[in-house]
Amino acid sequence: MTAGVRRTMVRAFDRAADRPG
């Protein structure tokens, strides 16, 4: 897994977690 892919996954996960609900 490349750093770019991991960064994207982490960013998406954080974005979803930050979303209420």
Spatial separation of the C-alpha atoms in residues 10 and 1, rounded to whole Å: 13
Confidence (pTM) = 0.35
Spatial separation of the C-alpha atoms in residues 21 and 7, rounded to whole Å: 24
pLDDT digit string, tens, across residues 1-20: 798 999 999 998 888 877 76
pLDDT, residue 1, reads: 72
Residues 18, 19, 20, 21: is their CA dihedral positive or negative? negative
Spatial separation of the C-alpha atoms in residues 15 and 21, rounded to whole Å: 12
